[in-house]
Amino acid sequence: MSTVTGFRRRFFGRTAVADRTARDAVTEPVAQVDEVAPVDIAPNDPLLAYLQSASGAVDISELELDSPALADLKAAGVKLAVPLVSQGELIGVLNLGPRRSEQEYSTDDRKLLDNLAAQAAPALRVGQLVRQQQAEARTRERFEQELEVARLIQQNFLPKKLPDLPGWQVAAYYRPAREVGGDFYDVIPLRDGQVGFVVGDVTDKGVPAALVMAATRSVLRASAQRLIDPGVVLERVNEHLCPDMPAKMFVTCLYGVLEPETGRFRFANAGHDLPYVKTADGSVELRARGMPLGLMSGMPYEEKETVLAPGDSLLLHSDGVVEAHNPDREMFGFPRLKEAVAMYPGGGELIDRVLTDLRTHTGPDAEQEDDITMVTLARSPSAVQTHGSAPTRQLVEFEVPSAEGNERLALQRVSAIVAPLGLDDARLKRLETAVGEATMNAMEHGNQYRVEQPVVVRVFTEADLVRVQITDQGGGDPPEREAEVPDIEAKLAGLQRPRGWGLFLIKNMVDEAHETSDGDLHTLELVMHLNDGTEVRDEGGDDDDE
């Protein structure tokens, strides 16, 4: 009896060699009878090494090895095993049972079988490689399909269009890396004409990141409509995400709310890269503390605010920008981006220029390493629509050295600029006092009376009001601010010190006073309506004077 038993699927099922053989060498037996039962060979079975080094057909019945597989082969009636070796690698074995004539295999038979094995092994190897490539292609195709799904999810959750805000230029750029990351951005219309801006980044890539991004974006949108305050919104989003966040995933996110009419921008940050704002004094970071979303519940999110003056621009960005490497593995880095914001115009042009710098840095043919997202917000320099009517004009910007008594310079200059606008004498005097007190505070508390750190004063006019912005360098780590409300009776009784009237006076002299800080700068904005229709508010809030 002579049977060529096919390479059985299970014959090498537990070996590296066997895996390939099992998949690829599925051949039907030439004869339909006397088929040898499949035999598994463990990877550490000595039979494998023996067959690998054998010079030709191996007489199984004569072979003595401490091998479970050998015992199985003998039990299955295998008489002869012919190793199939291609390029020195054992890729299969041809097993034969006893000859039908019941005679032993002759020398000619063995030669014939050796020749057959020498011919069959390369052909079998080619077949195995083809199968292997087909399998890899299927894997790649599945991977690409997953990436496409991730891209679709992300793109569907990005804004279809950006808002048209009179006096503002809003631009955005998003380009996913090939292995789609978790970047996202959003622009959310809120009540009273306010607009929410979001830039975020989910750790991880592909579909999981895209799904978390979609969930974050949806929760954030819903919370933003109801809660407005950026810090509270991020707190709420964090509480929603924490219970269901997959292990080792989290979301960094910067959320800010813009009041287009005033330029007031309130923001909170959940561990995201700091945005940059370009002002007349250069570019500064907007800092606010907060943990990434989805890591730990009960986290507070610090809320800060700044005022984007005419000509200012803001850049929100993802780490794909600063972490892009050049061929020497040097990152683009925060300093370069900060410098770009200071140097270039805002809006879409800022994005274009940064992308050009980025390409120069990485080289034109470099593959993008991570998603890149940028959102810019630029306030027109001299024509900001307010109340749908007249534009804002900057009347003057000047500096006052931080030296005692110099508040007189500021109030006199502001008074001279504002007087022709028609503010009545009593209200002009009030504005003078407020400007004087604000400048004193800025020189003393903000700049510690360092002459080389001037206070910057800017005056703007709109249809029916005047804005005076007084900026010092005390935004990063402000000195202790006085919280004591001045009380004349307490002062006369010696229970309060005589001083402490500055901020009280400021708030009572003007129609509105807004205090904002960012990474480096502290600004107090004073608003005075040109007509007398607005009551002067009597606020006895936080005091902060000389």
Is 528 a binder of another protein (CB under 8 A)?
no
416 binds another protein (CB under 8 A): no
Residue 482 in contact with another protein, rule: CB under 8 A: no
C-beta of 31 vs 451, nearer to another protein: 451
Q: Quick one: which of 218, 368, 508, 534 contacts another protein (CB under 8 A)?
A: 508
Q: Stretches 107-115, 171-179, 348-356, 488-496: which one binds another protein (CB under 8 A)?
A: 488-496
Kindly tell me which of 166 and 498 has the beta carbon lying closer to another protein. Answer: 498
When binding is defined by CB under 8 A, the residue of 142, 498, 531, 532 that contacts another protein is 498
Q: 97 and 33 in contact (C-beta within 8 Å)?
A: no
- Contact with another protein (CB under 8 A): which of 33, 247, 426, 483? 426
- Please tell me whether residue 488 binds another protein under the rule CB under 8 A: yes
**In this chain, which of 23, 429, 514, 529 binds another protein, going by CB under 8 A?**
429
Q: How far is the CB of 437 from another protein (least distance, A)?
A: 6
User: Considering only 52-60, 99-107, 386-394, 501-509, which stretch makes contact with another protein by CB under 8 A?
Assistant: 501-509
| The only residue of 9, 74, 491, 529 in contact with another protein, by rule CB under 8 A | 491
303 touching another protein, by CB under 8 A: no
Q: Give the span between the Cα atoms of 53 and 267, in whole angstroms.
A: 72
Alpha carbon distances (Å) from 1 to 32, 99, 102, 329, 463 = 12, 3, 6, 68, 109
Given the structure tokens 């000509």, which residue do they identify?
Answer: 311
Q: Are 457 and 399 in contact (CB under 8 A)?
A: yes
On the CB side of 527, CA atoms within 13 Å amount to: 16
Interface with another protein, residue 535, by CB under 8 A:
no
Q: Of the ranges 123-131, 247-255, 370-378, 400-408, which one interacts with another protein (CB under 8 A)?
A: 400-408
* Residues 486, 345: Cα–Cα separation, whole Å: 45
**Among residues 59, 104, 136, 404, the one that binds another protein under rule CB under 8 A:** 404
Instruction: Give the C-alpha separation, 353 to 343, whole Å.
Output: 10
Which segment (126-134, 157-165, 253-261, 430-438) binds another protein by CB under 8 A? 430-438
Burial label, 529 (beta-carbon count in 10 A; 0-12, 13-18, 19+): middle
**C-alpha distance from residue 64 to each of 22, 60, 71 (Å):** 26, 8, 9
SS3 content of the chain, % helix, strand, coil (to 5): 35, 25, 40
Cα(230)–Cα(254) distance, rounded to whole angstroms?
A: 9
| Interface with another protein (CB under 8 A) | 404-405, 407-408, 426, 429-430, 433, 436-437, 440, 486, 488-489, 491-494, 497-502, 504-505, 508, 538, 545-546
